[in-house]
Amino acid sequence: MSTALDDSQVGPQLREQFGELKPALAPQAATIEADRCLNCFDAPCTAACPTHIDVPGFIKRIASGNLRGSAMRILDANILGASCARVCPVEVLCEGDCVMHRQNRKPIQIGLLQRHAMDAFYASGELPPAKARDARKLRVACIGGGPASLGCAAQLVREGASATVIDRRELPGGLNTYGVAEYKLRAAESVREVEMIRRIGVEFRTGVDVNTAAALEALEGEFDFIFLGVGLGAMQRLGVPGEDAKGVMNALELIAAYKTGHLRELRGTVVVVGAGNTAIDAANAARRLGAETVYMLYRRSESDISAFDFEYEHAKQEGVQFLWRRLPLAIRTAAQGRLELDTVQVNQVNGELLPLPGSQYAIECDLVVPAIGQSPLAELLHTLRGIEIRNGRIVADEATGKTANPRYFAGGDCVNGGREVVDAVAGGKRAANAILKTAEAVYA
Amino acid sequence: MPDIRVRGFAGKIDCPNPFWLASAPPTNTGEMIMRAFDAGWGGAVWKTIGEPVTNVSSRYSATDWNGQRIMGFNNIELISDRPVEVNLSEMAEVKKRYPQNAVIASLMVASNRETWHEIVMRAEDAGADGLELNFGCPHGMSERGMGSAVGQVPEYAEMITAWVKEKARTPVLVKLTPNISDIRAVARAAKRGGADGLSAINTINSITGIDLDTFVPRPNVDGKSSHGGYCGPAVRPIALNMVQQIMADPESALPLSGIGGIGTWRDAAEFFLLGCGTVQVCTAAMHYGYRIVEDMTDGLENWMRQKGFATIEDFRGRSLPRVTDWKYLNLNYKIVARIDEQKCIGCDLCHIACWDGAHQCIHLDRVSGPVDGHVELHPIPAAREAASRASLAETPVTRKERAAAAATGPYPTPLARIPRVDETECVGCNLCSLVCPVDECITMVQVETGLAPETWDERTRGAACVTQPNRA
C-alpha cells in the first residue's frame, strides 16, 4: 500500500473546495470540552454506540492528558475510531443520547473529542497492541475491504489469529475510501487507517474479485473461515429510458471520481435523483465542484426523506434546491452534450404514487445523478452455497454474524441493508469474536 | 436600602463598605490603592511595610481544576520591596485624597521593641487608620525570624503586640497564620497583648504542583522551588473553620477581618455570619482586577434587602450558635434522599457514588422491580455495565427507528436510568445530592423516627450512670 491519494493525485483544489465540515478542536479546547463531560455511570453514549466505545473513559483520559490511553480505549472498541470520529452521525448516536440534552445544555462534542485522541494517536506513529502473530492456528479470509471486513480482520489479528482482507478495488477501505464526502473524511485518512491495520498484521489482497465458484473454492481451501463484508455493491438503477446516456453518473461513482481526482469540476445544472444521505453527499459535492444549480428530485415529500435532519439542513445551506413529489420519466440527450430529464408531479394516494395530469416538464441539465440506494451483490451471493438470502440481504445472526453455513460469517451493509460505518465495524468485530469462540470450541 | 457602611471596626475604623483589599500585590503602591478605591473598595491593607526585600522571579503558581483557572493560588513573594519612606509618603497622599476609605498599614520589622515603636509611629504619622501586624507570612520572612516565625509562638506574638500597643493610637489588628495546630493559641496571645482586632487567615504552607517533565515544583526559580503560601477559593473552607474557632472562643474573640478565598458577596456573607466585621480579598482581585468589588457590594446589598437586614450588624455572627461540637448533634434526626423523576437526567452518578462511596442504597431497579434491603439483594454496578456492553445497538437510520430511540416513557429520562432510593437503607449522608449535576433533583427530606432528640453526650452520660452502680 502506498501514500495514494496525496495532493498531487487528487489536485490541491480539492482541499479548498471540500474544507472540513467540523474542524479539529485545539488542544486546550479539547481539554475544556472533556472536563465538561459528567462521566455518567453506564453512560448512554456508550450504550448508543454500536461498537460500545467507553466514551466517558476516553474523554476523561483526554482531560487528564493521557492521550495514548484515550486512543487505546477507543481502538479497543472500534479499530476505525479515526474515521468514525469523522463520519458517524453522532447527532443520532452518542451525542444524541448525551444526558446534557435533558438540561437544555449542549451535548458533549464526543465526535470531535474522539478525533482529537485519534489524531494524536496517528501523529505518534504507535500501533494498538496485538497478540503474537499466529498465536492461534486460525486463518480467516474477509471478503470486501470496507469497514465490516476491517473491523473483523483487526479484531482477529489482535487476538492472535491471522486474517486476510480481499477487495476488488485498487485501494482497500471500501466506502470509507471511495464513498464518504470529502468534507467529512478524506480518502487519504481512510487509507492511513487501513495502513495501521496492515501494520498490526492484517494481510491485504487488493484488485482481486471473488466472483467465481473456483475462486471461492480456492479460498475455502486456504482459510478456516470466511467473513463476508461485501457491502451492497452497485447503486440501484432508475429504470428509465436513456439511463445509460453520457452524462448520467450514479452518486457513488460521482463521489469516488472526485475523491480520487478524476472529476475536478462541474458546470451548469445537476439533478440528483433521491433524498438519502448519499444523495445529499452527491448534491453537496456537485455544488462544491462548481455546478451553478443543483436539484434534488424526490418522488415523495419533505417529511418522507431518509436523510438525517442535519444532512438535509446542510444541503439547504450548500444551496441545493429540492423538487418534491416529482418522478423521473426519461433522460434524453439534447444539443451540445446537455441532457433533458423528463419529470412528472405525483400525488401519494394510499401509498401509491399517481402522476398528476398536465404536470409533465423537462429539466434541462448537464448531469443526472441517480442516488436511490444500493442493491446487494446478488451475483456473488448466489454463488455462496447454503447461505440464505432474504430481501437481497445475507441472513446472519445479528449478535454473531453466523450464517446458515458454519464456515461463513457476515456483517456490515450486506447484512443490515445499509447503515453506518460504525454499524459495519461493530458487525465485523462481533463476527470476529464469534469466529474465535467457534474455533476455540473446535480445537479445544 | 441596606447600609453596608462599617462604623468603628476594632474601635475606630470607618469605611464605606466592609470589602478591603488584603495586604498583597494589589495594594503595592499608592497609585494602585487609589484606583482600587475608585473602583469601590472600602479599604485597603497596604502591602507589608518593613526593611525592603529582594524578590525572586518567578513568584506565583496556581492549581487549576476541571478546566477552571486558579482554584488555589500560591506565592513566594516577600513583603514590600520599596523603601519605607516611599510607602509612607504615598500613604499620606492616599489618605489626603481618600479620607473616607480605610487605609491600614501592614507592618513587619525585626523583633525588637524600639524598631517596632519606630515603625508604628511613622505609619500613624503617615495617616494610617489602623495597623495590621503581619505575624503570618509563611515563607522567606519566617526564615529571618519574622512573619509566621512570630505567629507560631504565642509568647512572641503577645510580646510584640504589647510593644506595639505601647505606642499605637490607632486600632491594632494581628494577622494570624493558619500554619499552626490551633489558631486560637495565637489569637489568645494577641488578645492578651492588647490587640484591638484580628485578621485571619494568612496563607497556608503549600507546594501547588510539580512539572512532570522537569520534576521541578512550581513556581520554578532557576530549577528550584520553595514552599509558598496558599490562598484562593480552595482555602475558604479552612478559613471559615478557623474564623469560627476564633469567634466561638471567648479568650480569642475580637473584631475580626476575615480572609481566605473570598471572591464574591456570597463568600463574604459567610464570613460575616461567623462573626467577621470586615473581609479582605486578594486572589480574586489578582485574577480579575479591582472591578469585582462592584458585584460584591451590590450583591451583598441585594441579599440583605431580600433578608430584611438593614446593616451588617443585623446578621453578623448569626451562624455562630449553629456550630457546635459533634457530641451535641441530635443522633435521632434522620433524613433520606428523594429523587425528582421529572428533573433526573439519567447520568446515574448518584447510583455509582452511593455504591462505591456510600451505603449501597441507590438502585436502578425501577423497571426490573424495586427491591429494598441489603447489598446482597442487588446486582453490582459492574454487572450492569457488562450487560450494557454486551447489548446490541445500531444506528437508527429511518424516521421510525429514530422516533423509537428518542421515546423515553413517562419522564424525560427513560425509567430504566432513573435511580431509586431504598429509604430503608439510606443513612442520609448527602453524597448523592452532592454529586447530582441538576439543582434540586435530589433533595434530602426529614423522616420521622418517633424518637426524642438525643446527643452522643447525653447517651454516654446516661450510659455512665447505668454502669456506675454495676462497678460499685
> Does residue B437 belong to the interface with chain A, where contact is any CB pair within 8 Å?
yes
Work out whether strand A339-349 and strand A361-365 pair parallel, antiparallel, or are unpaired. Answer: antiparallel
Torsion angle defined by CA atoms of residues A114, A119, A124 and A126, in that order, rounded to the nearest 10 degrees: 60
Taking CA–CA distances from B397, the nearest residue in chain A reads A419
Q: Is residue B401 part of a domain?
A: no
- In the numeric block, the cell 469516488 is attached to A256
Neighbours of A67 (CB within 10 A): 21
Q: What is the pLDDT of residue A8?
A: 65
Neighbours of A408 (CB within 10 A): 23
Chain segment A230-255, per-residue pLDDT in tens: 998 778 888 899 999 999 999 999 99
- Work out the average pLDDT over B151-167: 96
d(CA A318, CA B1): 57
Q: What is the pLDDT of residue A32?
A: 95
DSSP H or E run through B188:
helix B183-193
- In the numeric block, the cell 452518486 is attached to A251
d(CA B407, CA A229): 32
Q: Between 3.30.500.10, 3.40.50.2300, 3.50.50.60, 3.40.50.300, what CATH number should domain A139-233+375-443 receive?
A: 3.50.50.60
- In the numeric block, the cell 503558581 is attached to B61
Taking CA–CA distances from B402, the nearest residue in chain A reads A92
The 3-class secondary structure across A427-438, one letter per residue, is: HHHHHHHHHHHH
- In the numeric block, the cell 481539554 is attached to A31
Q: What is the pLDDT of residue A213?
A: 79
Q: Is residue B413 part of a domain?
A: yes
Chain segment A173-209, per-residue pLDDT in tens: 999 999 999 999 999 999 999 999 999 999 999 999 8
Last residue of a domain, one of B322, B351, B375: B322
d(CA B266, CA B355): 33
Dihedral sign (CA A170, A176, A181, A183): negative
Q: Report chain B's mean pLDDT, rounded to a whole number.
A: 95
Q: Give Cβ neighbours of residue A157 (< 8 Å, ≥ 6 apart).
A: A130, A133, A163, A200, A201, A202
Q: Give Cβ neighbours of residue A153 (< 8 Å, ≥ 6 apart).
A: A140, A142, A163, A164, A165, A197, A202, A227, A428, A432
DSSP three-state, residue B231: strand
Q: Left, alpha or beta for A358 (phi > 0: left; psi -120 to 50: alpha)?
A: left
HSE-CB of B278 using CA atoms within 13 angstroms? 33
Amino acid type, A17: Q
Do residues B307 and B422 share a domain?
no
Taking CA–CA distances from B393, the nearest residue in chain A reads A50
Q: What is the pLDDT of residue A98?
A: 97
Q: What count of residues does chain A have?
A: 444
The partner residue sitting opposite B346, judged by closest CB among A35, A99, A416, is A99
Q: What is the pLDDT of residue A1?
A: 41
DSSP-derived secondary structure for B145-186: T-THHHHT-HHHHHHHHHHHHHH--S-EEEEPPS-SS-HHHH
Q: Decide if A52 and B437 are in contact by the 8 Å CB cutoff.
A: no
Q: Is residue B206 part of a domain?
A: yes
Q: Is residue B355 part of a domain?
A: yes
Q: Is residue B416 part of a domain?
A: yes
Contacts 24+ apart (CB under 8 A), A384-390: A384/A216, A384/A228, A384/A408, A387/A228
Let me know: does A229 contact A412? Beta carbons within 8 Å: yes
pLDDT band at A443 (very low <50, low <70, confident <90, very high): low
Residue A2 pLDDT exceeds 60? no
Q: What is the pLDDT of residue A4?
A: 52
What residues make up the domain containing B290? 6-322
Q: Which three cell numbers stand for residue A338?
A: 446537455
pLDDT band at A377 (very low <50, low <70, confident <90, very high): low
Look up residue B467 and give its DSSP letter: H
d(CA B1, CA B18): 16
Chain segment A53-91, per-residue pLDDT in tens: 999 999 999 999 999 999 999 999 999 999 999 999 999
Chain segment B405-425, per-residue pLDDT in tens: 888 889 999 999 999 999 999
Q: What are phi and psi of A226, to 5 degrees?
A: -125, 130
C-alpha closest to that of A426 among A396, A395, A401, A393: A401
Residue A383 pLDDT exceeds 80? no
Q: What is the pLDDT of residue B223?
A: 97
Q: What are phi and psi of B35, to 5 degrees?
A: -65, -35
CATH 3.40.50.1220 fits A251-370, yes or no: no
Last residue of a domain, one of B322, B349, B367: B322
Chain segment B169-184, per-residue pLDDT in tens: 999 999 999 999 999 9
Do residues B340 and B284 share a domain?
no
Do residues B99 and B212 share a domain?
yes
Q: Give Cβ neighbours of residue A321 (< 8 Å, ≥ 6 apart).
A: A293, A294, A295, A296
Q: What is the pLDDT of residue A389?
A: 80
Buried b / exposed e across A33-53, counting CB within 10 Å, b at 16+? bbbbbbebbbbbbbbbbbbbb
- In the numeric block, the cell 487476538 is attached to A159
Q: Is A362 exposed, middle or buried (CB count within 10 Å of its CB: 0-12, 13-18, 19+)?
A: middle
Last residue of a domain, one of B268, B290, B322: B322
Residue A5 pLDDT exceeds 80? no
Do residues B61 and B178 share a domain?
yes
The edge-to-edge listing of strands for the beta sheet with A203-206 is A203-206, A162-167, A139-143, A225-228, A408-410
> Does residue B398 belong to the interface with chain A, where contact is any CB pair within 8 Å?
yes
Domain count along chain B: 2
Q: Report chain A's mean pLDDT, rounded to a whole number.
A: 91
Measure B235 CA to nearest chain A CA, in Å.
22
Residue B9 pLDDT exceeds 50? yes
HSE-CB of A337 using CA atoms within 13 angstroms? 8
Q: Give Cβ neighbours of residue A244 (< 8 Å, ≥ 6 apart).
A: none
Let me know: does A336 contact A321? Beta carbons within 8 Å: no
Let me know: does A322 contact A293? Beta carbons within 8 Å: no
pTM value is 0.90
Residue B470 pLDDT exceeds 50? no
DSSP three-state, residue B400: helix
Residue B472 pLDDT exceeds 50? no
Measure A420 CA to nearest chain B CA, in Å.
7
Interface of A with B (CB under 8 A): 31-32, 35-36, 38-42, 44, 46-50, 52, 63, 89, 92-93, 96, 99-100, 102-103, 306, 398-399, 416, 418-420, 422-423, 426
d(CA B371, CA A440): 40
Q: Give Cβ neighbours of residue A111 (< 8 Å, ≥ 6 apart).
A: A22, A85, A86, A88, A90, A94, A95
Do residues B48 and B100 share a domain?
yes
Do residues B256 and B345 share a domain?
no
pLDDT band at A374 (very low <50, low <70, confident <90, very high): confident
The partner residue sitting opposite B393, judged by closest CB among A35, A48, A418, is A48
Residue B253 pLDDT exceeds 70? yes
Q: What is the pLDDT of residue A379?
A: 57
Choice among A387-396, A422-431, B222-231, B327-336 with the minimum mean pLDDT: A387-396
Measure A5 CA to nearest chain B CA, in Å.
30
Do residues B200 and B225 share a domain?
yes
Choice among A9-23, A95-109, B161-175 with the minimum mean pLDDT: A9-23
C-alpha closest to that of B301 among B267, B265, B334: B265
Q: What is the pLDDT of residue A25?
A: 96
CATH number of residue B275's parent domain? 3.20.20.70
Q: Is residue B305 part of a domain?
A: yes
Chain segment A123-143, per-residue pLDDT in tens: 999 999 998 877 889 999 999
- Work out the average pLDDT over A96-117: 97
The partner residue sitting opposite B385, judged by closest CB among A42, A418, A420, is A42
Do residues B68 and B151 share a domain?
yes
d(CA A137, CA A218): 19
Test the B interface: residue of A32, A88, A102, A301 with most B CBs within 10 Å: A102
| Catalytically annotated residue among B15, B137, B276, B441 | B137
Let me know: does B42 contact B30? Beta carbons within 8 Å: no
DSSP-derived secondary structure for B59-101: -EEEEEETTEEEEEEEE---S--S-HHHHHHHHHHHHHH-TTS
Q: Do domains A20-124 and A139-233+375-443 have the same CATH topology?
A: no
d(CA B50, CA B423): 62
Let me know: does A51 contact A73? Beta carbons within 8 Å: no
Q: Is residue B397 part of a domain?
A: no
Measured between beta carbons, the chain B residues lying within 8 angstroms of A419 are 394-395, 397
Angle at B443 between CA B441 and CA B444, to 5 degrees: 160
What dotted CATH number matches A20-124?
Answer: 1.10.1060.10
Buried b / exposed e across A69-103, counting CB within 10 Å, b at 16+? bbbbbbbbbbbbbbbbbbbbbbebbbbbbbbbbbb
- Work out the average pLDDT over A23-52: 97
DSSP three-state, residue B229: strand
Q: Decide if B394 and A102 are in contact by the 8 Å CB cutoff.
A: no
d(CA B397, CA A344): 28
The partner residue sitting opposite B348, judged by closest CB among A36, A42, A423, is A42
CA distances from A345 to A328, A368, A433, B404, B431 (A): 9, 18, 50, 32, 63
d(CA B70, CA A41): 29
Q: What are phi and psi of B321, to 5 degrees?
A: -65, -15
Q: Which of residues 38-67 of B touch A (CB under 8 A)?
A: 66-67
Do residues B31 and B138 share a domain?
yes
Choice among A252-266, B116-130, B319-333 with the minimum mean pLDDT: A252-266
Q: What is the pLDDT of residue B469?
A: 47
Work out whether strand B172-175 and strand B130-134 pair parallel, antiparallel, or are unpaired. Answer: parallel
The partner residue sitting opposite B381, judged by closest CB among A35, A41, A100, is A41
> Does residue B213 belong to the interface with chain A, where contact is any CB pair within 8 Å?
no
Test the A interface: residue of B71, B347, B402 with most A CBs within 10 Å: B347
Test the A interface: residue of B384, B394, B431 with most A CBs within 10 Å: B394
Any idea where the domains of chain A sit in the sequence? 20-124, 139-233+375-443, 251-370
CATH number of residue B437's parent domain? 3.30.70.20
Q: What count of residues does chain B have?
A: 472
B137 is catalytic: yes
